[in-house]
Amino acid sequence: MTLNSIGLDTKKTEELANDLNGLLANFQLYYQNLRGIHWNIKGRGFFDLHVKFEELYTDANVKVDEIAERILTLGATPLHTFEDYTKAGKVPVGKNISKDEKAVELIVNSLSELLKIERSILSAAGDANDEGTGSMMSDFITEQEKTVWMMKAWLGETV
Ligand SMILES: [Fe+2]
């Protein structure tokens, strides 16, 4: 087994960086979904939801940067073109959504896909002894599960 400059298995780290690029791409799609509903939302809930969606995309923007910089820390190059993001897309793309329920459902469905990717990376990070990536995934998962709960509460659904 070869170790890289931060003491991690070179081969496993390459695979992890690849998976993180998949997460990065899907986070960008989620971010763009949030911009879309922030702009297009209509109805009596406008003032609440417009602000809530901005809060979520601001948070997503910070996480996108954390993921990209983790990829660089692991010695790889973060994806940065729309072309690459679309190719790696698992998050549903919401277009011209203006109804509150559809917007909130889009968030739940997007986060469900991100959570799947993050859990898989968490497991691979454990296997590679990569605590940095693992703890980042743990934090994201905890926050996003809470957001899913709140969005489902708003929808009147149970988890
Ligand atoms: Fe705005």
Does the pLDDT of residue 73 top 70, yes or no?
yes
Mean pLDDT of the chain, nearest integer:
97
Torsion, Cα 137 139 144 150, to 10 degrees, reads 160
CA-to-CA distance for 124 and 109, rounded, in angstroms? 23
- Measured in Å, residue 35 CA sits from the centre of ligand 1 at 8
pLDDT for 157 equals: 86
- Measured in Å, residue 148 CA sits from the centre of ligand 1 at 22
**SS3 per residue for 109-151:** HHHHHHHHHHHHHHHHHHHCCCHHHHHHHHHHHHHHHHHHHHH
- Measured in Å, residue 134 CA sits from the centre of ligand 1 at 33
**SS3 per residue for 62-115:** HHHHHHHHHHHHCCCCCCCCHHHHHHCCCCCCCCCCCCHHHHHHHHHHHHHHHH
Per residue in 52-62, pLDDT (tens digit) is: 999 999 999 99
- Measured in Å, residue 137 CA sits from the centre of ligand 1 at 28
* Residue 131 pLDDT class (50, 70, 90 cuts): very high
Does the pLDDT of residue 122 top 70, yes or no?
yes
* The CATH classification of domain 10-154, taken from the options 1.20.1260.10, 3.40.640.10, 2.60.40.1220, 3.90.1150.10: 1.20.1260.10
Phi and psi, residue 94, nearest 5°: -100, 125
- Measured in Å, residue 50 CA sits from the centre of ligand 1 at 8
* Residue 158 pLDDT class (50, 70, 90 cuts): confident
Per residue in 28-38, pLDDT (tens digit) is: 999 999 999 99
- Measured in Å, residue 53 CA sits from the centre of ligand 1 at 9
Does the pLDDT of residue 41 top 90, yes or no?
yes
* Residue 141 pLDDT class (50, 70, 90 cuts): very high
CA-to-CA distance for 48 and 121, rounded, in angstroms? 34
Per residue in 83-106, pLDDT (tens digit) is: 999 999 999 999 999 999 999 999
Kindly state the average pLDDT of the residues 112-139: 98
- Measured in Å, residue 38 CA sits from the centre of ligand 1 at 7
CA-to-CA distance for 54 and 52, rounded, in angstroms? 5
Q: Domain ranges in the chain?
A: 10-154
3-state SS assignment for residue 41:
coil
Q: What percent of the chain has pLDDT over 90?
A: 97
- Measured in Å, residue 31 CA sits from the centre of ligand 1 at 13
pTM for the full model?
0.96
Instruction: State the amino acid at position 111 in one-letter form.
Output: L
- Measured in Å, residue 59 CA sits from the centre of ligand 1 at 14
Closest by Cα among 14, 27, 136, 122 to 76: 14
pLDDT for 69 equals: 98
Burial of 5 (0-12, 13-18, 19+ CB in 10 A): exposed
